[in-house]
Amino acid sequence: MSTKLATLDPASENASGGAAPILWFGAIICCCVVTLVAMAWTLGVGLVDDSYIFLRYARNFAQGNGAVFNVGERVEGFSSPLWTLMLGTAGMMLPRFETLAYVLGLACGIGIVIVLLFGVRRWAPSLGRGELFVLGMGTATCPILVFWSASGMDTALFVLLITAALVSLTRDSEKTGLSKRTTLLLILATLARMEAVLLVGLAAFVFAAQRRSVRALWGYGLSVGALLLIRYSYYGSWVPNTYHAKVTFGLAQRLSNGLSYGWPALWANVLLVAALACAVLLVGRRRSARTAPTVWLAAGWVVVWCAYVVYVGGDNFALFRFLLPLIPALFLLAAMGWSSVRVRLSARRRYAVLVGVALILGISHVRTFLAQAEGYYGDAKLAQSWKTVGEWLERETPPDTVIATIVPGALGYFGCRPTIDMLGLTDGRVSREGQVFAGGGHGHARYHTDYIFERSPDLVLYHSSGRFRQPVYADPKNIPVWSGFALFDFVTDPRCAGQYRYTTARLENGKLIEMLEKRNQLSVVDVDDEG
């Protein structure tokens, strides 16, 4: 090999070993960390409305009211006990919950990149610093990772723990059985989201097939059993309330929705998917006895998670939140596949492939951003609009004012008022006893109009509030049933006209709050306009 070609070889720096590879590896990690943080900052990524549900639970927990949305109502309206516990515990020391959610989420996103690079360095040791740099930067610049890490949601925490558990499982595959380290990571992942049991089942199957011990899972089973008992004793349910609120349609419709959810992601990343498929085929054909369990674990996780996403019907948020758990496993498989064939190529060809992969990653990320970022920005912008409404509620209404809405996140967090979630995410009656509107969106199909009238809220706030300068839903027929059927059914119910009147209030920024206010009582708001 010529001197010139040696400088182009992405792996040439590993030939001498020693401290240089370690220093370069640290430098690559630093570049990835800085890039991820810079992208989140410059792109203006912010919290979405559902993240404020976590924050309200965490704030109540930090204030000694328990992990509840409304004080005195025990409903588990969140999907991650661990994320809620982290925010609540940190909030006891620094009660700036928005900042905590942003920083902790971003830290988890950074952790995903670091853990993935360590896993790749172990299972594809022949990769040079150029290849590791492309892989790390390709992960750190992935819009799905950047946006959802800084969203305030539990997504990045869950993916970090799943990635760490996968890497730990691959290490255990070289030993006699599961380690205590892996068991602890699986417990934490299950505390982050119950879907981690899918990885536990996969790991048990792979290890049993390899005739390796899975005795350590007894500790996992006892821990998860304790979690379920605590959940049932406190909330009166074995599963989170979010399950009942979101898994609403029949199997056929869920499968259809799930497949439709994945298609835009496949189309936006068609080049990347093709490259990953080739790499996975390579690693599958060239796997050895040592690497086979790792291949089965990573590939199995991809298959199992895709099946789960299709089964539950996808997700309502933009930017493919539910596909983030796939990325570390796919990139690990891709790195192993490339490592198995790179030694057969000349330095020039390796360099050409590296440049091509970098271009494919860049094109895929840009296509994903252009296709989905507008929807994500819309979600974050909505949360900020409802934040202003919540601040108005906290400032202008009595503390005991009961409100009902289909957007309880930022509005409920900043409003600090007893809040009825008309979609049932944080309300057990709606989620378990309510009906399902067949034309509703994912997580927006539940409604229980009789129950809302029974609760008799003082104000019913429309989701248009804080967004427009003119009334939008003065005519109830304009309410979109796909996302707001619960509100539509309440407003068009004959009982509504006799008990409530439509009114608006104007915010300082000129935007309107649209709402229904109880008749036959003193007004709790300054009326701007009536209908």
Residue 9: band (very low, low, confident or very high) from pLDDT cuts 50, 70, 90:
very low
By mean pLDDT, which of 35-44, 282-291, 446-455 is the weakest?
282-291
Residue 84: band (very low, low, confident or very high) from pLDDT cuts 50, 70, 90:
very high
Q: Left if phi > 0, otherwise alpha if psi is -120 to 50, otherwise beta: which for 411?
A: alpha
Is the whole-model pTM more than 0.85? yes
Within 124-154, residue ranges assigned H as helices are: 129-140, 143-149
Rounded CA-CA distance 467/198 in Å is 40
Q: How much of the chain, in percent, has pLDDT values that exceed 90?
A: 61
Average pLDDT taken over every residue of the chain: 88
Residue 525: band (very low, low, confident or very high) from pLDDT cuts 50, 70, 90:
low
Q: What pairing do the DSSP bridges indicate for beta strands 459-461 and 512-518?
A: antiparallel
pLDDT tens, residue by residue, 329-343:
988 888 888 887 787
Q: What are phi and psi of 272, to 5 degrees?
A: -65, -40
Number of Cβ within a 10 Å radius of residue 189 = 26
- The confidence score (pLDDT) of residue 518 equals 92
Task: Assess contact for 140 and 33: CB atoms under 8 A.
Answer: yes
Q: Map residue 470 onto helix, strand or coil.
A: coil
- The confidence score (pLDDT) of residue 404 equals 97
Q: What is the rounded end-to-end Cα distance, in angstroms, of the chain?
A: 82
pLDDT tens, residue by residue, 158-182:
999 999 999 999 888 888 788 899 9
pLDDT tens, residue by residue, 396-419:
999 999 999 999 999 999 999 999
| DSSP single-letter state for residue 440 | P
